[in-house]
Amino acid sequence: MNGADAAAPLAAARDWLAQDPDPQTRAELEALIASADAGDAAASADLADRFGARLAFGTAGLRGALGAGSNRMNRVLVAQAAAGLAAYLRERADDGAAPSVVIGYDGRRNSDVFARDSAEIFAGAGLRAILLPRLLPTPVLAFAVRHLGADAGVMVTASHNPPEDNGYKVYLGGADRGAQIVSPSDAEIAAHIERVATTERVPLLPRSTGYETAPESVVDAYARATAAVAPAPAGADALRWVYTAMHGVGWETLSRIVERAGYPAPHNVEAQLHPDASFPTVSFPNPEEPGAMDLALEEARRVRADLVLANDPDADRLAVAVPVDAEGGYRVLSGNEVGLLLGWRAARAARDAGATAGASLACSLVSSPGLGEIARHYGLDFHETLTGFKWISRAPGILFGFEEALGYLVNPETVRDKDGISAAIAVLGLAAAARAEGSSLAGMLEELASRFGHFRSGQVSVRVTDLRIIADVMARLRAQPPSEFGGVGILRADDLLRPTDGTVPGDVLRYTLDDGSRVIVRPSGTEPKLKIYLDVRADSAEDAAGRLARLEEAARALVS
C-alpha cells in the first residue's frame, strides 16, 4: 500500500475515533492507528478493510462483524442508522403525529447497548420509542410492532451468524403489517443514513432517556397467541422431546408457551439452554451446520425422544430431528420436509374450516415445489417468491409460508415473519397427534410422499473469503450457460436479474430440467456463500435419491 492509499484510511480512522463513544472500540482503533503510524503493514491493511467501505444497509438491514470502522458493526454505525431511520419515519408520517418504533434485542455481544443507543436516538429525534423489557426472541419484536401499532420495529440480532457478528433488522408497521422492509424502503432509509454519516457528528445527535419500556403484557400477549397455534391434543402428555436453544434467547419464552399450550416439558440440552454470546459448545450457532445439534441428538438417544426441536440463537428458525431406528439413530429433517409437513397442516385446516377461497401457501423460489402440489390439491393459491420472509410474508392471502433455511410462518395474523417458536408449537401438535394414532412425524412424511410424490431436495454451498469468486461464477454461468446437469438436458433457463413474469429482479439463475428436476444458483443474502439448490420429484424414494445424487455431483463440478 503506497502513502496515498494508506493516508485515506488513517484519516477516516482518526475522524471515526473522534465520534466513537465506546471505550473498547476506541482502544482497538487507537492501537491500530499507532501501529499503522509506525509502519506496520498489517495494521494499515486492517484499517483499509475497516474504512475502505461502509457496511451496506439493505433489505436485511445491517449485519457484520463487531469492531471499529465503517465496515463493522459498532455504536457509531448503529447511531447513524438509528438517526437515519428516525428521519425516514418522520418524513413518512403524514398525520403530524410522532412516529412510534419498538426496539428488541437478543443475547449477542452489544445487542443491549445497540438497542439502548437506538432508543435514546429515536426519543431524541421526537419519536415515541419503546424498548422491549429484556432480551427476547426476534418473533416477539415482530409481534410487538403489530400489537403496539408501531410505525416501525428494530431488532438487534445477527440471528445464526458467527459469534463475532451482530446486526440490525428493520420492520415496518401500517400497510406493511409488521413485515421486514423491502425496496424502495431500504434504499430510502439507506439514503437517510448516508446523509447522517456525511453531515452529522454522532456526539451531537440529539438523545433522550425519555423512551418507554414495554410492559410484560406484550410478551404475555405473544405467549397467548402462540400457545393458541396448536393446543395440546389428548395424550400429548406422553410425548418425549428434547429442546436446545443453541445458546440463544428462545427458552424463556418457549417454556411459558409450552406450559400454556399443555405440552409436557422437554428434556433440555442444559449446556445450550441459556444465552451465551460466545456460543461455547458449537463452532457455528446454526442448526443447519454439521455438528451443531450433536448434543441435542445425544440427549435424544439417552431419553429415547420422539423428536428433537432446536431454535437458532434468536429463535426465528426451527430445526427438527426424528428417530429413524430402534437403535437410537436420529435424522435431522430438512427445512423442506418440515415446511411440507406444516404446509399440509395449514391446507387441511383451511379445508376443514371452509376457508380456502383466496387463501394461499407461499415459499421462496429455492424451497420445495412440493408446497405448490399441496396447495393445488386443496384448492389454495400458491405463491413462489424471492428468498427471504420480507417477500414470503407479503404473499396475498397467506395462510402459511416457509423457506428451506429452517424458516416457517405459521401464524400470519400474529407475526409476519419467520417464527421458530410458533413453528415449534405447531410441530409439537403434529407429533402429539401422530403419536396418539400410533404414528410419528416420520410416518407423516411417508404418508405425504404417497399422496403428493417423493420430493427430495439438496443444496451445495461454497463458502468463500473473496466475494469476487461468487461474482465470477455467476458471470461465467451467464456468459456460458450449461446445456445439461447430471446428464439431463435443460428444458428452460431463467435469469431472474431480467425476469419476464413480473417478479422482482434477483441475482438468481434457475434451470428446469427435462425430467422435471430443478437447479437454482444464487449468492447468499446474508453469508459469503454461493448456494446451489436442487429439487427432484419421483414416484419412489429410491428414484428420487438417485436423481438427487447425480445433480449434487454435477453441482459440485460446477464450482470446482
Distance CA(286)–CA(317), nearest Å, equals 9
Distance CA(386)–CA(60), nearest Å, equals 13
**Opening angle at CA 308, ends 304 and 312, nearest 5:** 155
Q: Kind and range of the H or E element at 364?
A: strand 360-364
How buried is residue 53: exposed, middle or buried, by Cβ count under 10 Å (0-12/13-18/19+)?
exposed
Residue 250 — left, alpha, or beta (φ > 0 → left; ψ -120 to 50 → alpha)? alpha
Of 195, 263, 185, 154, nearest in space to 54 by CA: 195
Cell of 459: 443444496
Q: Where are the beta strands (DSSP E) in 245-353?
A: 267-268, 307-311, 318-323, 330-332
What type of residue sits at position 27? A
* Packing angle of the helix pair 441-452, 335-353 (nearest 10 deg): 70
Contact 272, 246 (CB under 8 A): yes
Q: Where are the beta strands (DSSP E) in 81-210?
A: 100-105, 128-131, 152-156, 165-172, 179-180
| 159 labelled catalytic | yes
* H-only helix segments in 39-178: 41-51, 75-92, 111-124, 138-147
**Opening angle at CA 140, ends 138 and 142, nearest 5:** 75
Contact 304, 240 (CB under 8 A): yes
Distance CA(340)–CA(402), nearest Å, equals 9
Contacts with 478 (C-beta within 8 Å, 6 or more apart), sequence order: 495, 509
3-state secondary structure 409-438: ECCCCCCCCCCHHHHHHHHHHHHHHHHHCC
Contacts with 289 (C-beta within 8 Å, 6 or more apart), sequence order: 282, 283
Contact 136, 147 (CB under 8 A): no
Q: What are phi and psi of 45, to 5 degrees?
A: -65, -35
Of 201, 169, 204, nearest in space to 85 by CA: 169
Contact 317, 388 (CB under 8 A): no
- At residue 319, the 3 state secondary structure works out as strand
Output DSSP code: residue 66.
B
- 159, 393, 422, 517: the catalytic one is 159
Contact 529, 523 (CB under 8 A): yes
Q: How many of the other CB atoms lie within 10 Å of CB of 326?
A: 7
Distance CA(381)–CA(397), nearest Å, equals 8
Pairing of the two strands 212-213 and 128-131: parallel
Catalytic residue set: 159
